[in-house]
Amino acid sequence: MNHLGDLVSALLDGELTAGERAAAEAHLAGCPDCRTEMARTAAMRSLVRGLPPIEPPFGFVEGLVRADRRRRPAAVFAAAAAVAAAVGLAVTPRSDGVAPPVGRFVEAHATATPGGDPVTNLGPPSVLPVSFRP
């Protein structure tokens, strides 16, 4: 059998079939080079597996969630607005004392306006009739 090559890692990772495994182990028993290769690969594998988890910068994930919420309400509000528009037709404005006293305003304006005819409330004409020139 040739040297194990790529099979070294697959053997370490438990990724060989039963047949491949048996053949690989038989080869290892008689091949110091492959045993060395195996030991070195195992050491390297442990180093990578031993790398610690990494904390994202403080507030990073929460910032992404909040940014997403700010972006997404556009869609949520559009849907809500459509519903409100449909429902809104059935809703009448409230009449709780906001109607302006129009009559009183007109009266006050009429009595306070200075000059002019008291009946028509029209002032003297400020523009003379235009005469046509020949």
> Where on the chain is the footprint of another protein (CB under 8 A)?
3, 5-10, 13, 15, 33, 36-37, 39-41, 43-45, 47-57, 60-62, 64-65, 68
Closest to another protein by CB, 10 or 23: 10
**Tokens encoding 68:** 């997403």
Q: Which is nearer to another protein, 23 or 41 (CB)?
A: 41
Considering beta carbons, is residue 2 or 120 the nearer one to another protein? Answer: 2
Distances in whole angstroms, Cα of residue 29 to Cα of each of 32, 33, 38, 67: 8, 10, 12, 59
Query: Considering the complex, what minimum distance in angstroms separates the CB of residue 33 from another protein?
Result: 7
Q: How far is the CB of 3 from another protein (least distance, A)?
A: 7
Closest contact distance (angstroms) between CB of 57 and another protein is 7
CB of 12 closer than 8 Å to CB of 3: no
Contact predicate 34/8, CB 8 Å: yes
Instruction: Quote the crossing angle between the two packed helices 73-88 and 60-71, to the nearest 10°.
Output: 30
